[in-house]
Amino acid sequence: MKNKGVIVHTEAQTFSKRALAQAWLKRREAELEAARSSGQLAVAPLTVGEILQAYVEQSTGITEWGRSKKADIARLQTAGLAQKDARLLTAADLIEHAKRRRLNDGAGPATVLNDIVWLRQAFLMAATLLHIQQPLLAVDAAKVELMRSRVIAKAQKRKRRLATGEEERLIDYFSSRDRRSQIPMLDIMLFALLTARRQEEICRLRWEDVDEEKGTGWIDDVKHPTQKRGNRREFRILRPAMEIIMRQPRVAAEVFPYQSRSVGAAFTRACRFLDLPDLHFHDLRHEATSRLFEKGYSIQEVAQFTLHDSWSTLKIYTHLRPDAIPER
Beta strand 216-219 with 233-236 is antiparallel
Catalytic residue status for 97: no
Q: Quote the radius of gyration of the chain (alpha carbons, Å).
A: 25
Q: Which of 228, 229, 250, 272 is catalytic?
A: 228
Catalytic residue status for 131: no
Q: d(Cα 287, Cα 195) in Å, to the nearest integer? A: 10
Report CA-CA distances (Å) from 64 to 34, 56, 229. 34, 11, 7
Question: What is the rounded end-to-end Cα distance, in angstroms, of the chain?
Answer: 73
Catalytic residue status for 224: no
Q: Which of 169, 282, 315, 319 is catalytic?
A: 282
Catalytic residue status for 282: yes
CA dihedral for 285, 291, 293, 297, sign (positive or negative): negative
**Residues β-bridged to residue 218:** 234
Catalytic residue status for 308: yes
Question: Which amino acid type is present at position 39?
Answer: G
What is the b/e burial string over 114-139, where b = at least 16 CB atoms within 10 angstroms of the residue's CB? bbbebbbbbbebbbebbebebbbebb
Q: Which of 87, 236, 285, 291 is catalytic?
A: 285
Residues belonging to the active site: 198, 228, 282, 285, 308, 317
